[in-house]
Amino acid sequence: MAKMNLLQAVNNALITAMTQDERVMVFGEDVGHFGGVFRATSNLQEKFGRARCFNTPLTEQGIIGFANGLASQGSVPVAEIQFGDYIFPAFDQIVNETAKFRYRSGGQFSCGTLTIRTPYGGGIAGGHYHSQSPEAYFAHTPGIKIVVPRNPYQAKGLLLASIRDDNPVLFMEPKRLYRASVGEVPEDDYELPLGKAEVVKEGSDITLLAWGAQMEILEKAAEMAAEQGISCELIDLRSILPWDAETVCNSVVKTGRLLITHEAPQTGGFASEIAATVQDKCFLNLESPIARVCGLDTPYPLAHEKEYMPDHLKVFEAIKRTVNY
């Protein structure tokens, strides 16, 4: 085991994958000698050469189009989109090509070996073009997987599983935690299952559900709730698509209540899909309406970031309202 922050865990996972499989290559804007804007790809070019870690032109549509071609011809590309906000120029390539290539070719071709890495979310005073959480846009598209780690241990295990999965994966990294989240990470090769949520803490009164950076918020809110005698069950969804409805519903059957939080705006956010599914499957077990604590339905603000963010205080207030309904 070694102490790593989330960035170091991502870097270690990439080194592990590139060492184990010479078909793995990493590319994107400034990922080469510079190591990426956050340094997630530091030293990869020195270790593996310019043929396997290289800079691309500043065109996200081109990056993913190039990656699709590589993946369909047998390479294992790991393409970086510098910020989650910048992924939208590549939206057509991802939802109409990456996700559908296997289907439209009748299984003759596939982009299944492609992994797209991108940092997402706020908390870094990045304003409206460096703080968005676009996971829900892509969750509407069959054919890709969406994975979000919450800490360094999860980041390495989930990224290795994503690179080796037989489906294209959008791997979204919570940039607020890049250097803030430090933990013990095995130096050896390991994978964590995609599509499987993790019950982080068991409880009896209410189920709290999130992914990525919001898990830290849930933990703080659950501690405050515990001081008032409220027992919270914490679940990290980890995979947005496919998402683990069975684990979530089993928890809600036990607690009778559910609160979901994410940084993205509330309208059309992925919490809506979860709430609809849980209401359908657990209706007779619910003791109160399903609660959502999300970002506001506005562009992500710079000066009012603290008001926008769904923090532990907002979650704590929603826990009390839900339990006392």
Looking at the annotation, which residues are catalytic? Answer: 60, 130
Provide the residue type at 61 as one letter: Q
Q: Give the rounded distance of the alpha carbon of 243 from its chain centre.
A: 12
Comparing CA positions, the residue from 282, 151, 156 lying closest to residue 219 is 151
Distances (CA, A) of 238 to 140, 173, 212, 229: 17, 11, 7, 28
End-to-end, the C-alpha distance of the chain in Å comes to 45
Nearest to 145 by CA among 177, 175, 112: 112
Q: How far is CA 207 from CA 215, 216, 295, 325, in A?
A: 13, 15, 20, 15
| Residues 305 and 124: beta-carbon distance below 8 Å | no
